[in-house]
Structure 1
Amino acid sequence: MDTDNPFEYDSENDGFYETSLIERYDLQQVAKWAEHMLPFLLLLLAVFLREHFQGVFIMIFTSVVMFKSNGIVKKQTALKEDRRASVLAGFSSASMLYVLCIYWLYRNDDLAYPLVMFPLKETPSFWHAIFTILVNDALVRQAAMALKCMLLISFKNCRRYNFLWQGKMLTLVEHTLLLYRALLPISVWNTFFMNKDYGALFSSVMVGLYLTFKLSYALEKVRCFFYALKSLSESESLDGIYSTTNQVNDAGDICAICHDRMYAPTQLLCKHMFCEDCVCQWFERRTTCPLCRAVVSTPHLKTFSSGSTSLFYQFC
């Protein structure tokens, strides 16, 4: 049998050999096409980077700073009373200065317009719309992390009971940020879709569909914001209820997560008790009890008591 002919029929294997050769031949053709196109695509990428070098650099730079800052805030939050106020104050000041510098750099453009829901000066290109949305999304998160640092400073020397509010306040700040970030792209995409070159009918339909899609997403963020706000007036923890002294004595005063004396003991629905801070950080990643694995985490509200910030970009 001539294996160079992909269309040769193998009677012994009912045509499976022929099918295998055809598939192999198709893959080889795809590989050759990709190999042929790759140099040209790299040339296009080089031209794109040449034309938009500053924009690409700013987007990468703001993303790197944001990821690094998120780690700093989480680390300082985990230190509890051992956190350093000087580090938090310095980081907060540097963050705000950095944000102001970026907006000052683009003071003659319309980068800051979405912050107050103003439409852009003119219809943006797709690249300009993406750039405006992503940079604003990164900068407002950076500003929110500066606010979180100020909250951590204020809670540093509080009494133990007042320290319990830290997790709720950090959660409220993050859900407020998520709601605001959900609204930021609206003015940008509204201006983008209202392009006179598309025609009035098409533009109106696109804007209507976008706002309809956006409404359901924004309502979910509003609901989470009010849940976080409501939690401030409740005596219960975000993930359970605070345990009494007798309950702690009966269960033992050792947290199964940190293996230390319980700090603000919190009882879950399954009756197991842990430090509130420990169990809140546990529920950042899981929804089950650390001991019995019963599903006990609050289903309607994600907590951010660890000081973390959502790192996913809000494109639309």
Structure 2
Amino acid sequence: MKLRVQNDRPDSKRALKLRESPAVMQPNPSERGVLAGNGLSLNLQPELLTGTPFTATAAAASNADSSEVRVSMTGASGDSNGGASSRRSRVNSHTHSHAHPHSHGHSRGQLHSNSEPELDPPDPDGDSGEPSASLTELRCLFRWIQKSLPFLVILCAKLVIQHVLGLAVGVGLLTTFLYVNKNIQTQVFLQDRHSKLRCIWLLVFLISSTLLLYYTFLSETLYFSLIFLSPTIEPLGFWEILWAVGITNFIIKFLFMGIKCLILLVPSALVTYRTQGRWLMLTEELGQVHQATAPVPLWFRYLVSYQESDGVSGLTTGVLLALFYLILKLLGLYNQRTSLLKTVRIFLAGEHTGSAATRAQCSEAGDVCPICQGEYRDPRVLICQHVFCDKCIALWFNREKSCPLCRTVITDKVYKWRDGATSPHLQIY
């Protein structure tokens, strides 16, 4: 199609020619001057009109004699009309010749914009780089979670129903541990004012919880794990081993927490506060060693086990994995041995903070302990010359290394197990 567009100004000598087919569209000479400004007058053949949209303000008229269609177009905005009027009023040929191609360019741009569909705006995240890509991935992940949430809820409900007994046992063990551990620390903090009845209740509570658990799973003989034997769990899968190791770990914690309750039941006339702290610290260290060694038979049995279809290769791989596990376990116990030996040394030799304070030093300090705000009982003076009660400063150094008043470092290690606390760490390997 051949298209020729002419401006309606009489002094225009340029024409825009587009060649797309043998048919010719020419402006009607008799209709020039109908539109003002940037108006265009085009004569189109009727068969070429189909499928050629014009979105600008247009008026189409059919000429039956010439079989042509005339389409009149106006400018896209008021600025273009004003620009055309000002250009017609100019007499400078250089300015006119410079503005005339601009007018044709504007008309051609308007025609092009009307004859082609509008493109989509560019994606703002296209050139934004890596942060925007990360945000896009997060949005996709959020959409996936949002769509998959109903299925995840259904799956979790099914898992809870299948393992309701095991989950109930786990929740019960955890709450029992937290409750007893907090109460033991409170009773140790109260020193001579602690309640013997509360200690007895904690001891009975631990014993009853342990017996109830072992009675519930009597057929699995889980108590064998306490004496380094493998329980009768069938089938011996990963989750079964993990569950048995977790229960054994909690039971060992309960056992040594019961020993701490027995230490608290000893009259203070027989056991001083410092001696009580050493016993509590030694008990916790021995409990951690027991927790570290109890899972060894279970994991060794699991690693060595193999299917008959695996043959010799499966047995060889299992033995190698079990030996590698034993080596790692021995290295861990060797590192733990240092802490245990130091605790035993302190337990046997005893440890005192500072030296005994004289009456003059107590008088200079005001005869009032800064910690308990009472009269001195077995006063001790530190290297910084501050005086405290022996029990008060011993309780302080269960958690701190420095003086409570001047923050001078007094000891090189905090023996935190003296306050009766039990480690919440779950030893599962």
RCO greater where, 1 or 2, for CA within 8 Å and sep 6 or more? Answer: 1
Residue of structure 2 aligned with 1:223, choices 338, 343, 357: 338
Q: Displacement, 1:87?
A: 2.1
Amino acid at match of 2:341: F
In 2, the alpha carbon distance for the partners of 1:127 and 1:32 equals: 32
Q: Displacement, 1:209?
A: 2.1
Residues 68-124 of structure 1, C-alpha deviation per residue, up to 9 Å, x if partnerless? 011111111122112222221232123212212211221210311210111233562
In 2, the alpha carbon distance for the partners of 1:269 and 1:110 equals: 55
Residue 296 of structure 2 is matched in structure 1 by 186
CA distance 1:18–1:94, shift in 2 (3 Å): closer
In 2, the alpha carbon distance for the partners of 1:247 and 1:142 equals: 47
Residue 126 of structure 1 is matched in structure 2 by 238
Q: Is the 8 A contact 2:357 2:387 kept in 1?
A: no
Which has the larger displacement, 80-89 or 57-66? 80-89
Q: TM-score, normalised by structure 1?
A: 0.84
CA distance 1:112–1:6, shift in 2 (3 Å): same
Q: Is the 8 A contact 2:273 2:391 kept in 1?
A: no
Question: Which of the two has greater helix per residue?
Answer: 1
Q: Tell me if 1:291 matches 2:408.
A: no
Q: Displacement, 1:268?
A: 5.0
CA distance 1:42–1:210, shift in 2 (3 Å): farther
Q: Displacement, 1:251?
A: 6.3
The aligned length equals 303
Amino acid at match of 1:189: W
Residue of structure 2 aligned with 1:302, choices 391, 396, 415: 415
Residue 14 of structure 1 is matched in structure 2 by none
Q: Tell me if 1:136 matches 2:248.
A: yes
In 1, the alpha carbon distance for the partners of 2:377 and 2:251 equals: 35
Q: Which runs of 5+ in 2 are unaligned?
A: 1-119
Q: Displacement, 1:43?
A: 2.7
In 2, the alpha carbon distance for the partners of 1:19 and 1:2 equals: 21
Q: Is the 8 A contact 1:175 1:221 kept in 2?
A: no
CA distance 1:256–1:228, shift in 2 (3 Å): same
In 1, the alpha carbon distance for the partners of 2:385 and 2:330 equals: 39
CA distance 1:98–1:20, shift in 2 (3 Å): closer
Residue 262 of structure 2 is matched in structure 1 by 150
Cα root mean square deviation, aligned? 2.7
Which has the larger displacement, 191-200 or 303-312? 191-200
Q: Displacement, 1:282?
A: 3.4
Residue 115 of structure 1 is matched in structure 2 by 226
In 1, the alpha carbon distance for the partners of 2:161 and 2:343 equals: 45
Q: Displacement, 1:154?
A: 0.5
Residue 202 of structure 1 is matched in structure 2 by 317
Amino acid at match of 1:223: T
1:67-106 pair list within 5 angstroms? 67-106=178-217
Residues 49-76 of structure 1, C-alpha deviation per residue, up to 9 Å, x if partnerless? 2221111110110110110011111111
Question: Which of the two has greater strand per residue?
Answer: 2
After superposing on structure 2, the runs of 4+ consecutive aligned residues of structure 1 that deviate more than 6 Å are none
Percent identity over the alignment? 21
Residues 294-314 of structure 1, C-alpha deviation per residue, up to 9 Å, x if partnerless? 444343x73312111111211
Q: Is the 8 A contact 1:270 1:294 kept in 2?
A: yes
Q: Is the 8 A contact 1:193 1:207 kept in 2?
A: yes
Q: Tell me if 1:278 matches 2:397.
A: no
Q: Is the 8 A contact 1:242 1:264 kept in 2?
A: no
In 1, the alpha carbon distance for the partners of 2:207 and 2:290 equals: 18
Q: TM-score, normalised by structure 2?
A: 0.63
Residue 162 of structure 1 is matched in structure 2 by 272
Q: Is the 8 A contact 1:77 1:306 kept in 2?
A: yes
Q: Which runs of 5+ in 1 are unaligned?
A: 10-16
In 2, the alpha carbon distance for the partners of 1:215 and 1:264 equals: 44
In 2, the alpha carbon distance for the partners of 1:137 and 1:259 equals: 41
In 2, the alpha carbon distance for the partners of 1:72 and 1:37 equals: 43
Residue 373 of structure 2 is matched in structure 1 by 259
Residue of structure 2 aligned with 1:37, choices 132, 148, 166: 148
Q: Is the 8 A contact 2:402 2:408 kept in 1?
A: yes
Highest Rg: 1 or 2? 2
Q: Is the 8 A contact 2:189 2:395 kept in 1?
A: no
Q: Is the 8 A contact 2:383 2:410 kept in 1?
A: yes
CA distance 1:24–1:164, shift in 2 (3 Å): closer
Q: Displacement, 1:142?
A: 1.6
In 2, the alpha carbon distance for the partners of 1:132 and 1:276 equals: 44
Q: Displacement, 1:181?
A: 0.9
Residue 6 of structure 1 is matched in structure 2 by 125
Amino acid at match of 1:184: A
Amino acid at match of 1:201: T
In 2, the alpha carbon distance for the partners of 1:306 and 1:78 equals: 7
Aligned with 2:267: secondary structure? helix
Residues 18-49 of structure 1, C-alpha deviation per residue, up to 9 Å, x if partnerless? 54443332221121222233333333322222
Amino acid at match of 1:196: Y
Aligned with 2:424: secondary structure? coil
